[in-house]
Structure 1
Amino acid sequence: MARLSQEIILNMAEKIIYEKGMEKTTLYDIAGNLNVTHAALYKHYRNKEDLFQKLALRWLEETSREIFDWTQDAGQTPDDALHDWLWLLADTKKKRYKTDRKMFLLYTDYIEQNEELVKNHVVHLAQKAEEVSGRTNQGNAIITAFTYFHNPYFASRWEQAGYADLFEDVWQIVK
């Protein structure tokens, strides 16, 4: 077997979580599937919560990379750039929900229960909104206004008729 690493542990944890869910996954399950003792996992993670938090952060970073790496087109106005970026945010979350609903719900449910993770993610989104729009001290208000389009709580409604029209209506208020 390859040398045990955080990446190997996270990959196995994700596989087991996909099968059993977060609540039923134990460090013993992960260790057993890696053919190591559960004590070996403590060389890499303080406890189950630490491992799950790192896994959730990895998922959040992977699924948000396009959102945070986005740059506006040359010559694009700040308002047009903000509109396009907010649509990318909404569309990215919606696609993740559609593509792998089970993992989306598992991870977002876990993240939503961790106030620090949510706060950090929202702050990062607000900073990006300010960067894109050039509107200082308005990022949090902008992200809050578009909560319906990116917050997992509303995911089951993202397929409803009128979704894009509602986005444009909210945009008209914000711009």
Structure 2
Amino acid sequence: MRKTSLSQVAKELGVSHAALYKYFANKEDLWTSLAFGWLNKELADVFHFDPRPYDSKVMLLHDWLWTLTESKKKAYDANQKMFKLYTTYIDNNPVVLNKHLHELKEKISELLHYSNDIDLSTVLEAFAVFSAPSFAHTWDSHLQERFEDVWKLMLPGLTRLLGEERG
């Protein structure tokens, strides 16, 4: 990411440098706000996922993870330059990245009524290849097929974890 001053940002936005400081404490605060604004727009379907049609927590999780995957891929395909700009910023800032991961875990927890943080982190880690920006170059026409292959492998454990074993 090239160095950009707040004065340059203000000029591009058509506002004064001082006006930016009215809303942002510093350049880091501005970048964080821009990055999360972009991310929240791109992941709107993920954060507004409707669990009502689901009787099965396992199927809900499947579809939510696929929505996350699809949303990230659509953002990447729509504008790779913006995707790389914002995701590089997020990935290179541990506090910002942890906030994003925490928001994803909170959403899964809310949807599944499940709160074990380690388990939720493990699920996200297992499917990271489908949503982590560093893997974007692998998101090809076989993405859904690869996603389903991983899902099938994980399904027995997820079924047990979410208490949906058939006896």
Q: Please, what TM-score do these two structures have when normalized by structure 2?
A: 0.82
Equivalent residue number for residue 118 of structure 1:
97
1:166 to 131, 137, 146: 146
Equivalent residue number for residue 56 of structure 1:
35
| Rounded Cα–Cα distance in structure 1 between residues aligned with 2:6 and 2:22 | 13
| Rounded Cα–Cα distance in structure 2 between residues aligned with 1:100 and 1:70 | 23
| Rounded Cα–Cα distance in structure 2 between residues aligned with 1:55 and 1:153 | 20
Alignment partner of 1:148 is 2:148:
no
Unaligned runs of 5+ in 2: 156-167
Q: Which one scores higher on RCO, CA 8 angstroms, separation ≥ 6?
A: 2
Alignment partner of 1:129 is 2:108:
yes
Paired residue total: 153
- How far does residue 35 in structure 1 lie from its aligned partner after superposition? 4.8
Q: Is the 8 A contact 1:31 1:41 kept in 2?
A: yes
| Cα distance change, pair 29–150 in 1 and its aligned pair in 2 (3 A) | same
Give the letter for the 1:143 counterpart. Answer: L
Equivalent residue number for residue 164 of structure 2:
none
Between stretches 105-114 and 25-34, larger displacement belongs to 25-34
Identity value in percent: 39
User: How much is the aligned-residue C-alpha RMSD, in angstroms?
Assistant: 1.9
Give the letter for the 1:107 counterpart. Answer: Y
Give the letter for the 1:166 counterpart. Answer: R
Report the 3-state secondary structure (helix = DSSP H, G, I; strand = E; otherwise coil) of the residue aligned with 1:42.
helix
Q: Is the 8 A contact 1:142 1:174 kept in 2?
A: no
Give the letter for the 2:144 counterpart. Answer: A
Between stretches 59-68 and 141-150, larger displacement belongs to 59-68
- How far does residue 174 in structure 1 lie from its aligned partner after superposition? 2.3
| Rounded Cα–Cα distance in structure 1 between residues aligned with 2:14 and 2:109 | 48
1:84 to 51, 59, 63: 63
Unaligned runs of 5+ in 1: 1-21
- How far does residue 95 in structure 1 lie from its aligned partner after superposition? 0.6
- How far does residue 73 in structure 1 lie from its aligned partner after superposition? 4.3
Q: Is the 8 A contact 1:128 1:139 kept in 2?
A: no
- How far does residue 110 in structure 1 lie from its aligned partner after superposition? 0.6
Deviations 1:26-68 (A, max 9, x none): 2122233455442332222212111111111111121122101
